[in-house]
Amino acid sequence: MSDPTRKLNSPDLTTVLFATGFVLTLSMGVRHGFGFWLQPISQEYHWTRETFSMAIAIQNLMWGVFGPFAGMAADKLGTAKVIVLGAILFALGLLWMALVSQPLAFIVGSGVLIGAALACTTFGAVSGIIGRTAPDAKRSWAFGMSSAASSFGQFFMMPVDQKLIQHAGWQNALYVLAALMLIVMLPMAWKLREPPRAVDTGPQQSTIEAVREAFAHKPFLLLLAGYFVCGFQLVFIGMNMPAYLKDKGITDPSVAVIALSLIGLFNIFGSYGAGKLGGLFPKRYLLSSIYLNRSIVIALFILAPLSTYSVYIFAAAMGLLWLSTVPLTNGVIAGIFGLKYLSMLSGFVFFSHQLGSFIGAWLGGYMYTKNGNYDAVWVIVIGLGIFATLINLPINEAAIERDTKLPAAV
């Protein structure tokens, strides 16, 4: 009997974008909707907002912690196996959120399970197979397409989450999403199976050598700092927007649903556009402009009179800037370091993103509990955007020069 693995062909770019698109749509769509569970779960168990905020903060931190390891596994074992593991962990994490009522157990269990699941089903885990499949001329565009898919997930899943909670209850909504994780992701993982890759030609690096090389390279460190800001901004806004609007007198929950959906809708165009522009202009300038425009949009939002229409305008503008950093950042990493360890290095950069997410999620709940409002955090968000604008400007995007023989320790 012949070995079936010998007949396995590498998936083409269309298949890769299709399958990873479905995975990202569901994974990121569910992740962006967790803010809708903040109030019902907190009210059910008589928790402060800080408790739920801490659970999401731990989740984002663990997403970052597990990101490099998920990337290493995707580079070594293949993306398909990593997505299968992520789907199982995601389903278990959602069930944990539905069933556990003890605060510490809720925080730790849901944080670790869903954090690890996100590491296995989002950008770091899939960037390697996208980078390997896309030709050089289309790589930035392909990263933009995958980012757009995650944005579509936010647009599509926001009303789904809200309607599930409204009509089925918050616990049953989590049960439904847990089932969807397995029903959707497992078949998509099957489409991403790859044959064993041929041995790379040219300079050979071990995993440790690749990590040392990256962390000794200044542009990589600047990307880490910029992505920290990105994570802080997005998680604070995405998680606290429904509660912020309610505190300000906009009590209709559909406004928050529409606002978060608009972010997802417009980010489809923003991510796709960033991917296209990344193939035409220096990515560092595009990254700086994104962070600068975020600070401007946020400042205008908190200074202008708040209304339903101002919320929608803010959401649309932020949507154009939301995940447009992802294809540009992955494109810079691929251009500097190559493709062999792309998933792993993307995972390290995303760890910095998730440190920012952890602090943004926790600080929002902490400052609200302390001050009764989010005003101070909005100011911090604007200041960090200015910081990220400046540190992205000096990034050198040129491919790193390696000796033919790499030393044992770099």
List the beta strands (DSSP E) in 178-305.
none
Distances (CA, A) of 222 to 16, 275, 331, 332, 339: 30, 20, 14, 11, 20
Segment holding 69, helix H or strand E: helix 49-77
What mean pLDDT is predicted for residues 321-341?
87
Triad 95, 98, 102: Cα angle to 5°: 110
Query: Residue 37 gets which letter from DSSP?
Result: G
Is pLDDT of 201 > 60?
Answer: no
Q: For the whole model, what pTM was predicted?
A: 0.75
State both tokens at 212: 């040392």
Give the pLDDT band (50/70/90) at residue 198.
low
How far does Cα 354 stand from its chain's mean position? 8
User: In sequence order, which ranges of 78-102 are alpha helices (DSSP H)?
Assistant: 79-99
Mean pLDDT score, 143-166: 80
pLDDT (0 to 100) of residue 33: 80
- Pairwise CA distance, residues 183 & 87, whole Å: 9
Question: Sorting pLDDT into bands at 50, 70 and 90, what band is 180?
Answer: very high
Tracing tokens 């099957």 back to the chain, one arrives at: 190
Question: Out of 49-53, 194-198, 224-228, which region has the weakest mean confidence (pLDDT)?
Answer: 194-198
Instruction: Using alpha carbons, select from 287, 362, 356 the residue that is nearest to residue 326.
Output: 287
Q: Per residue in 6-52, pLDDT tens? A: 456 778 888 999 899 899 989 988 887 887 888 788 888 888 777 88
pLDDT at 330 over 60: yes
How many whole angstroms from its chain centre is CA 350?
Answer: 8
Residue 368 belongs to what H/E stretch?
Answer: helix 342-371
- Kindly state the DSSP code that residue 178 receives in the 8-state scheme: H
Cβ atoms 158, 260 nearer than 8 A: yes
Return the amino acid letter for 348. F
Q: Give the span between the Cα atoms of 33 and 19, in whole angstroms.
A: 22
Show the tokens assigned to 139.
């790589």
Percent of the chain with pLDDT over 90: 30
Helix (H) or strand (E) holding 182: helix 170-191
As to burial, measured by CB atoms within 10 angstroms (0-12 exposed, 13-18 middle, 19+ buried), residue 398 is: exposed
